[in-house]
Structure 1
């Protein structure tokens, strides 16, 4: 078979150069060189966003270029990267407006730019066929070609086992995918533009996955599922117990987590129309228990003092090792944790907000069953965790439910009670944000006092009639009815009991006491705080005025409080798209000072104090 001509392409101003076969689309050559060029139309030649300046002999412009580029631009040498095929040695200048290397990642108050440099490279290779004059081994044949493109690789046994058959079946025209000097995939034909990654936030309640294009950084799809491990326990302690005491308990929990990741991947692929075998890199964040269970690491030590994990460093395994449906050799990278109950999810939060960018005193709080928080003060980061229990996720509350359609998520009490529900469905119960809202309003009206005691019906004579009628004597004490049974979607009344108030006090007291202890150990005061970042689904949907009213967060001015949504997921995406961000994550985890609250007398005193509700909190605007 005659050899195909090869031509050199130099990209300016980067100075990147590579050799490509004749007829290669310039946009594919750019992708192979690790340069992402804007192609909003998918390379169909209809948007004109991939404009580049080319020096050298080129074919005549096609109809799309003639339509989208002016005569002056064509005369100057501008072409469309998605239409021009390389037929000679050329030099290409990519204008700033045609580059898509800077991808803005947004998440409810977070705006981040990251330079897309995932480390994954796909190279279309047209190799010389073996002959009596060319008896090189197949791997050496491929590696020599890749070296001509500036890529050095080591043998990978699983790929090398079938390399001869793959090359011959593809007539020696293949696309090689490499990462960290490893050959991780070999595919027939030119698939160099098909390069994807998935970032996961493995939460104890919800698992979220983000599919991104590794060339451009563009998010292609998002999907989430309930963590199937919740069947075996809502909180981490329950799951640790299940893993350690039940026959094959750890294996069951690992399989549940892996099943969640696989189901999300299938949904993402279906939505975006991509092949999961073209997923070449995966990142995962989660609390330390979740990532241990995912990897099949023994969690027994997390269930007993001093709660030492087996691993805090980041770790990379193959998709094959976890039976995930991606390219078998694709790296699955779990970000570093900090301590037994301060995981890579908090590291992801810190990464997403450029935690150390200006040195200001900042507090980040991820509120959930296991609350994690970080304080940056005078250049040092202090972190801790607090077992808040499941109240903030609606569990353990008499009419509580997760934040799903029909959940009461907002409450206003004035002359009567006014509620809103998720998706405007008939009310089925109350979720965490609705619970905080309701209790904050009950404090303002006087239904609940600062000790958390709810008025009995006889004590409520001074309240408005409509409010007083909602206070009833329940089976275990007073109840406050939010929704009459005739108006609920269940046919039963939705109310808050005295026990519900106590559950909330325990949860908010634990979080607030942890914050107070963190600040006192760091020598910081509320006046020092430049901002409070509320992460996670609960932090995203809660009304900050209500959070301050019940004493969940420090009472600072409103503009200092920012809800940043699923910032852990944003951090996972940043680490997926940029190797430098992964290094930043390692440094954040390494430098953080972990405080074990259980051994600090201050925490116990703060817990007793913050179990109480504030007398009055007039939040300053």
Structure 2
């Protein structure tokens, strides 16, 4: 009989798990429900959040562990759970307590009594889940949290690979979201009558148990066109009547449809053509509207950098995190997010709480913070077009540039006592920039229009709240002179889901609009890699 892996948590509780030695320790902990929800780089070996401790004879550190963990942690037996296989007989100490086996949610305190039936809108993202509840007179409450599926992959393809690796894995991913949805529904003082859940194609397919194989390899196939009402069966046996917006293409999902509905109905009149809509997260989804009957769309993988995941000091945009950086006479000055909640209409959107099981040390930087930081460094001459660190020539640049040093085997631009930028961080942002630049320019080319012909560029998703518009120009996401036409919109997927849950006219419009969308399969074009590599510079190509 195979010896189990012994897991001992911070309170001394022990769990014995007979694990498949082909799985990593991180996957085993996740599948057993023993891992707390927190943002991860999901196996990239960069964030260091999945550190566990070998009780006896820790193995030699891997290069990824040396880069991500301090010498003190390494000498104490700390290793990355995402990089270590679950060998039989291991004894592993965890720096956190096992989560409670039963999800308990306190009743929500609403700002007023409800008027009519409650509806729930949810943006089911790869990294985060956002929700908003309301009645017939308006919004009541909302919140956001990290998607508990994160340990299984930080972007859609790694999430798919995990789901398809074993027949039961997809069910595990579905179950943890359903349990979270159930806890949320139970928290309301009145029954939730209907919902709209807007997610990308992979998140939607996992939630509804649609076939996944067509999304995992080319030629990609859409498992279901969406645009339907369905009953989602929760673990307690109850059902939630839910609208799933149309899914235009294999990697252009219901979140984009909801965003388009929000854009169309949130203004006094529909936006003037031509316009471009970009919903940016781990996947970038773009729609170019040339007219009411003609839409071009494309999607490109962008990775989790805009969510702050996989970066050396990255974080989602939470209180205490750098979301912007400016240049002053004294050097770099970060803008730190201080609000505890964001007000949307009459509803307070409560951000996720930092993981309490392992205190976050040092300051962290959001995706938008990284963009503004790199733009400032480019301005100072401390970062070249290819993303390399260089010595600045003016006095201020030289003073700021003195913080460049070698540490833990890599070049770091030190921004404070425990916050820094690495060359690998710059590479991750360059990949995001190249993907955005390629989709943007390729859609305009296919549409036969120049960038200055666009009436507006609407930004949704991870860049839609705190983005520095000048940084997008300076880093080459968009051509110079585009800043005046960029309109940040915030979370349009959530706003659209709220609208689609309650408005028949919005459902009618989006169901008629989506069949008019023509999708460009940029990733399968023969010159994709050449065009992508050409754009790995901080300049619009």
> How far off its partner does 1:461 sit?
6.3
Residue in 2 that maps onto 1:483:
416
How far apart in 1 are the matches of 2:288 and 2:473? 18
Paired residues, number: 403
How far apart in 1 are the matches of 2:304 and 2:152? 14
Q: Is this contact kept in 2: 1:283–1:334, CA < 8 A?
A: yes
Residue in 1 that maps onto 2:373:
438
Q: Give 1:186-201 correspondences, 5 Å limit.
A: 194-201=116-123
Residue in 1 that maps onto 2:6:
none
Residue in 1 that maps onto 2:142:
222
Q: Is this contact kept in 2: 1:409–1:430, CA < 8 A?
A: yes
Q: Give 1:394-409 correspondences, 5 Å limit.
A: 394-409=308-323
Residue in 1 that maps onto 2:257:
347
Q: Give 1:422-501 correspondences, 5 Å limit.
A: 422-423=337-338, 428-455=363-390, 459-460=391-392, 462-464=394-396, 465-484=398-417, 493-501=418-426
1:540 aligns with 2:475: no
User: Does the residue aligned with 2:149 lie in a helix, a strand or coil?
Assistant: helix
How far apart in 1 are the matches of 2:527 and 2:277? 20
Q: Is this contact kept in 1: 2:463–2:488, CA < 8 A?
A: no
How far apart in 2 are the matches of 1:275 and 1:407? 35
User: Does the residue aligned with 2:289 lie in a helix, a strand or coil?
Assistant: strand
Residue in 2 that maps onto 1:367:
280
Residue in 2 that maps onto 1:332:
242
1:418 aligns with 2:309: no
User: Does the residue aligned with 1:540 lie in a helix, a strand or coil?
Assistant: coil
Could you give the per-residue CA deviations for residues 537-563 of structure 1, whole angstroms, max 9, x where no partner exists?
432211111122111234344332111
Q: 1:410/1:193 Cα in 2 relative to 1: closer, same or farther (>3 Å)?
A: closer
Residue in 2 that maps onto 1:249:
169
Q: Is this contact kept in 1: 2:125–2:203, CA < 8 A?
A: yes
Q: Give 1:62-77 correspondences, 5 Å limit.
A: none
User: Does the residue aligned with 1:516 lie in a helix, a strand or coil?
Assistant: helix
Could you give the per-residue CA deviations for residues 428-471 of structure 1, whole angstroms, max 9, x where no partner exists?
2211011001100000000011111112xxx4465435313211
Q: Is this contact kept in 1: 2:179–2:234, CA < 8 A?
A: no
1:561 aligns with 2:476: no
Could you give the per-residue CA deviations for residues 22-54 of structure 1, whole angstroms, max 9, x where no partner exists?
xxxxxxxxxxxxxxxxxxxxxxxxxxxxxxxxx
How far apart in 2 are the matches of 1:219 and 1:212? 4
How far apart in 1 are the matches of 2:400 and 2:147? 39
Q: Is this contact kept in 2: 1:382–1:595, CA < 8 A?
A: yes
Residue in 2 that maps onto 1:388:
302
Could you give the per-residue CA deviations for residues 502-546 of structure 1, whole angstroms, max 9, x where no partner exists?
111011111111111111111121111100101024322111111
> How far off its partner does 1:359 sit?
5.1
Residue in 1 that maps onto 2:442:
517
Unpaired segments ≥5 residues, structure 2: 1-113, 341-360
Could you give the per-residue CA deviations for residues 449-494 of structure 1, whole angstroms, max 9, x where no partner exists?
1111112xxx44654353132111234443211112xxxxxxxx21
Q: Is this contact kept in 2: 1:359–1:377, CA < 8 A?
A: no
Q: Is this contact kept in 2: 1:536–1:565, CA < 8 A?
A: yes
Could you give the per-residue CA deviations for residues 92-118 of structure 1, whole angstroms, max 9, x where no partner exists?
xxxxxxxxxxxxxxxxxxxxxxxxxxx
Q: Is this contact kept in 2: 1:394–1:401, CA < 8 A?
A: yes
1:206 aligns with 2:119: no
> How far off its partner does 1:322 sit?
4.0
Q: Is this contact kept in 1: 2:307–2:316, CA < 8 A?
A: yes
Q: Is this contact kept in 1: 2:306–2:366, CA < 8 A?
A: yes
